[in-house]
Amino acid sequence: MKKFRFLLAVLTAVALMGGTALAASTIGTNMSTTGTLTVTSDSATSVQFQDAAGTTTVFIVDTTNTRAGVNAGGAVDTTFEVGGTASISGFSKFGANASVAGDFELTGSSALLGVIAGGTIDTTFEVGGTASISGIITLGGTGTTGGQFRPGANSATAFRFQNAAGTTNVLSIDTSSTRVGVNAGGTLNTTFEVGGTASITSVFALTNFVAGKDTASSSTAYLGEFSSTGTTSLLLHGTSTNKGTCLQMKNTAGTIVYLRIETTTLTINTVGCHP
């Protein structure tokens, strides 16, 4: 009877205190409440759900800084912290100033990610603004879908590779006219345009070429054409003071002959340019 009265007194005291436990408590069955669980004192470890051994904190609530952590491994540094892989089967929205310090992965077959997309996300990853990458860009895929860059719309300046200041177009790609320019300095007028000196260490193979300016006689029948609006001048000489210019040609009989100038006389013979 005395034990019964003692237990009744303890239960009565707990009830009068609003259900507050002042020390460690063990609940041997399910617990349910229709009210609110309130901690008696705010701290960084106000509420902790641990494993049976009490060595690992599975879930922690920091009521001082309004933070919660799942397997955080220590102090919770952000509003919600997960120390491991998190899986979300529904919709997840990141508000202003959101950041991800570790890996962020979308594994759904139709997963879409937009950063300031400004509307409906039409591609797997969409950025409505400037994107910065400090490492390597790797393009996967093979065949017709592998390693491709496509503009949203064709234009004369669809792709531009610029200097750090953004003031010089080092490489320009015109997808409207299928043209490429290196330091072109403006609108691209030819299929490939270089604004400066070009250096080639191997063979420079052309079907035909025009040096100077296109004329009415320009034709693919000529392997090479030198023309201008005025007098067409060609300079052919070496840097040596006692060596001339020699041209190797084939005559109509199919014989290789060599053309050179002996003093002021034009000479054609079979003496090679490099005997």
Q: What is the pLDDT of residues 246-266, one digit of tens each?
A: 999 999 999 999 999 988 999
Quick one: pLDDT at residue 215? 67
Q: Taking 60 as the threshold, does the pLDDT of residue 11 lie above it?
A: no
Q: What is the mean pLDDT of residues 141-163?
A: 90
Q: What is the mean pLDDT of residues 236-246?
A: 84
Quick one: pLDDT at residue 2? 47
pTM for this one? 0.52
pLDDT tens digit sequence for 50-70: 999 989 999 999 999 999 999
Lowest-pLDDT choice from 66-70, 160-164, 233-237: 233-237
Quick one: pLDDT at residue 230? 82
Stronger pLDDT, 275 or 162, i.e. the higher one: 162
pLDDT tens digit sequence for 101-148: 677 777 777 778 887 778 888 888 888 888 889 999 888 888 887 888
Rg (the chain; Cα; Å): 40
Q: How confident is the model at residue 162 (pLDDT cuts 50, 70, 90)?
A: very high
Q: What is the mean pLDDT of residues 87-93?
A: 73
Q: How confident is the model at residue 9 (pLDDT cuts 50, 70, 90)?
A: very low
45 Cβ partners below 8 Å, 6+ apart?
60, 62
Q: Taking 70 as the threshold, does the pLDDT of residue 209 lie above it?
A: yes
Stronger pLDDT, 19 or 178, i.e. the higher one: 178
Average model confidence (pLDDT) for the chain?
A: 83
Q: What is the mean pLDDT of residues 153-161?
A: 95
